[in-house]
């Protein structure tokens, strides 16, 4: 009986020693995850709690166990400091906690603004303006498959060195995934899949500024799709040759290009830019109507019509 108790005590002790060693390993040994590409820049916003930060770090595969991170933050004073943090390599949970609780560990950053509707070529240009040595050619090559999924946002990138294209893509794609997570989860409409929603949203983003106009335009475009009428949206030419409504020619309208919505029925092959959540929501929650035509004037006002005759009258009046 005594031997049995002693054996259980030994097993109990061994278990806690093992647990203690595993905890130490996870706290003080750098977190390795094949899903994370370094360097990494992450941001802590004003008002975020330790739990919020822990959850974000877990989602970004920078930590494995949020509870150990929280304990490490508590050891360092318990206060996370807003700002941008740049990690060139893997860090232990303990070191990571030290970084975001210390006043001198914030990273000098460059503010990069990506406007709503920007396409990969425009984003590459924006990045090159901010970082002269930025590899735009490689960025465009890598980013093309993510057209429409590089979320338009204000980004803060480390000033110390020119970011590599893969790092920027990772940051922008993660932002897109985070912003669209809820809307994807709640999307039930089977008429269009989410990729088609994204393509339509990229058009709507560039066609109107006001939310109600975007929702009405979404309804118009869906009417045209259902009836097999070409969308005939001028913003598609921005993607083809950089032109807009006011400098398009008759020859432009006949260009043989899969993105030419005047000669091709249905949606373009891919999004023509990166839509905001507002535009995506406008397509999902469009305003149904009998309208088949619309146009916008130079001041951002949009005019709708049910017939080609009325549309042509609006053209002469407002364009």
Given this model, what pLDDT does residue 96 score? 81
| pTM of model > 0.85 | no
Q: What is the distance between the alpha carbons of residues 98 and 155, in angstroms, rounded to a whole number?
A: 24
How far is Cα of residue 263 from the mean position of the Cα atoms in its chain?
31
Given this model, what pLDDT does residue 80 score? 84
> In the predicted model, what is the mean pLDDT of the chain?
84
Percentage with pLDDT > 70 across the chain = 85
- Inter-residue contact 153 to 276 (CB < 8 Å): no
* Half-sphere exposure (Cβ direction) of 142: Cα atoms closer than 13 Å: 17
Question: What are 35's two structure tokens?
Answer: 């899903």
**DSSP structure string for 255-270:** ---TT-TTTS-S--SS
Q: What is the distance between the alpha carbons of residues 174 and 179, in angstroms, rounded to a whole number?
A: 9
Determine the length of the chain.
Answer: 319
Rounded to an integer, the average pLDDT of 270-283 is 95
Percentage with pLDDT > 90 across the chain = 49
Closest CA to 68 of 19, 34, 105: 19
Compute the radius of gyration of the chain from its Cα atoms: 26
- In the predicted model, is pLDDT for residue 33 greater than 80? no
Domains and CATH numbers, the chain: 2-101 (no CATH), 109-186 (3.30.1490), 194-318 (no CATH)
Instruction: Provide the pLDDT confidence category of residue 256 given band limits of 50, 70 and 90.
Output: very high
* Half-sphere exposure (Cβ direction) of 91: Cα atoms closer than 13 Å: 19
């Amino acid at each position: 009986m005594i031997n049995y108790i002693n054996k259980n005590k030994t097993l109990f002790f061994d278990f806690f020693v093992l647990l203690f060693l595993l905890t130490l390993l996870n706290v003080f040994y750098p977190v390795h995850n094949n899903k994370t590409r370094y360097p990494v820049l992450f941001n802590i916003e004003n008002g975020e709690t330790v739990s919020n930060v822990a959850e974000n770090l877990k989602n970004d595969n920078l930590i494995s166990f949020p509870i150990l991170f929280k304990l490490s933050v508590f050891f360092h004073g318990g206060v996370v400091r807003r700002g941008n943090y740049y990690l060139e390599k893997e860090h232990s949970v303990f070191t990571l906690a030290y970084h975001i609780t210390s006043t001198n560990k914030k990273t000098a950053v460059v503010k990069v603004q990506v406007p709503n509707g920007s396409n990969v070529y425009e984003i590459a240009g924006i990045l090159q303006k901010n970082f002269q040595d930025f590899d735009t050619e490689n960025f465009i090559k890598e980013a093309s498959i993510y057209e429409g999924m590089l979320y338009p946002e204000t980004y803060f990138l480390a000033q110390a060195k020119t970011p590599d294209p893969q790092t920027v893509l990772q940051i922008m794609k993660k932002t897109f995934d985070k912003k669209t997570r809820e809307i994807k989860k709640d999307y039930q409409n089977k008429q269009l899949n989410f990729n088609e929603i994204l393509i339509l949203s990229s058009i709507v983003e560039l066609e109107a500024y006001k939310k109600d106009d975007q929702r009405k335009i979404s309804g118009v475009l869906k009417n045209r799709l259902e009836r097999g009428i070409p969308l005939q949206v001028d913003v598609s030419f921005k993607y083809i040759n950089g032109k807009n409504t006011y400098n398009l020619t008759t020859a432009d309208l006949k260009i043989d290009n899969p993105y030419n919505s005047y000669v091709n029925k249905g949606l373009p092959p891919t999004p023509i830019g990166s839509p905001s959540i507002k535009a995506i929501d406008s397509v999902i929650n469009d305003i149904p109507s009998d309208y088949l035509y619309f146009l916008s004037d130079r001041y951002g006002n949009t005019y709708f019509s049910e017939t080609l005759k009325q549309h042509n009258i609006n053209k002469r009046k407002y364009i």
